[in-house]
Amino acid sequence: MKSDFSENIQTNEQRNEITYENAGVNIAAGNALIESIKLVVSQTHNNGVMGNLGGFGALFDLKAIGFQDPILVSSTDGVGTKLLIAIETELCDSIGYDLVGMCVNDIIVQGAKPLFFLDYFATGKLEIDQAKRIITSISKACQESGCALIGGETAEMPGMYQDKHYDLAGFVVGAVERNQILPKNISAGDKIIALTSNGIHSNGFSLVRSVIKSQNLSWDDIAPFDPNQFLGEALLTPTKLYVKPVLQLHEANLLHGLAHITGGGIIGNLPRILPNNLIAVIDGESWPMPPVFSWLAHAGNIQPEEMLKVFNCGVGMILITPNFEAVNKILEKTDVQAYIIGQIENKTEFENDQQVFFSDLPDFTFFPKIDE
């Protein structure tokens, strides 16, 4: 006997039988989201992308973009508790830059060009407008990084997340020619160059939120370090994307090494690229300190050594180069500011395992006072 499937569905609803939708998962909403983002996602695609959004797996052709002897480089990351500020303020239109930036800024450190990106977006209840805004920001960040948003996963998991809460993870794959992998040839006498950050980027927000709580501040208060922005808006300043200027410098053979300054700060990240026989000597007063860090240090009574271990303190990326003049000539045509902050030196027999030394610590004492 042939049955009518639609008739059975109606009967199930009338009987209050459990369906996936009334258990909290809306498949139709997920499909609607995919349709709504297809255009903005397709705008990130390059010659290496094969197929369309929605397949079981994503395909990419390395030969189509001209690599001869490529080595793949991959990275994965999230946004951390900065997401809580985005959730509580409902400001999610730039959070994709943080997600993409944390991943692509990692792989350019090894000289790799980002090829494609995948995102994971999980929430308790899928809100199509919210999800579209987030994925649109991911797409825009991918475009600015020359990277294709080639696929991803949207997971609706009722009971896993609080109301309106969501989580993000990103995955990037890049490639570098075998003979161009960084770091290489770092030597005593090389200059240490700081590329300025946009602010806190995406690390240290558990400490940031603790300081905010201690000061009894709200996200819609005027930022104590910037009278032109609300606090939540100021703290959500997105992670800076360094891909294009850094790859320009690498193509010009001007780089010996790079360090992405994330959690752990300069102290924790710069040693990751240094040979054991070398040290970095840095002048902590050689670059401008963004007011947000000075305010955090003041409001939280955080010592300079702790600030340097947790935050980027205004330095988003470090370059090691023998030729600052040539580097600066290229960077002058970009929106990135660069400062010589130190140099590489030989380690002496009297030095221990420490590889980063500050001739002067940064000055965290100044930030603009906001009139009450």
Which one is predicted more confidently, 122 or 128?
122
pLDDT tens digits for range 229-283: 999 999 999 999 999 999 999 999 999 999 999 999 999 999 999 999 999 999 9
Q: How confident is the model at residue 1 (pLDDT cuts 50, 70, 90)?
A: very low
Q: What is the mean pLDDT of residues 108-122?
A: 96
Q: What are the tens digits of pLDDT across the range 43-70? A: 777 777 876 666 677 788 888 888 999 9
303 vs 291: CA distance, rounded Å:
16
> Which residues neighbour 26 within 8 Å (Cβ) at sequence distance 6 or greater?
125, 126, 156
Omega before 288 cis (within 30°)? no
More confident residue, 31 or 355: 355
Q: How far is it, in rounded angstroms, from Cα 335 to Cα 109?
A: 19
In the chain the domains, ranked by start, together with CATH numbers, are 6-180 (3.30.1330.10), 191-360 (3.90.650.10)
The answer, yes or no, to whether residue 13 has pLDDT greater than 60, is no
| Segment 133-160 mean pLDDT | 93
User: Other C-beta atoms within 10 Å of 372: how many?
Assistant: 3
301-344 pLDDT tens trace: 999 999 999 999 999 999 999 999 999 999 999 989 999 999 99
| Residue whose C-alpha is closest to residue 52's, from 64, 67, 71, 35 | 35
* Confidence (pLDDT) at 352: 79
Helices (H), the chain: 5-14, 27-42, 82-89, 95-107, 128-144, 205-214, 231-235, 243-251, 265-269, 291-299, 304-310, 324-331
287 three-state secondary structure: coil
Report the predicted TM-score, pTM, of the whole model to 2 decimal places.
Answer: 0.88
Q: How much is the pLDDT for 79?
A: 96
CA distance 172 to 112: 11
Please state which of the ranges 39-53, 208-222, 340-354 shows the lowest mean pLDDT: 39-53
Least-confidence region, from 19-28, 73-82, 315-324: 19-28
- Measured CA to CA, the distance from residue 186 to residue 275 in angstroms comes to 8
Instruction: Please check whether residue 261 is in contact with residue 315, taking contact to mean a CB–CB distance below 8 angstroms.
Output: yes
Supply the pLDDT for residue 198: 95
Q: What is the mean pLDDT of the chain?
A: 89
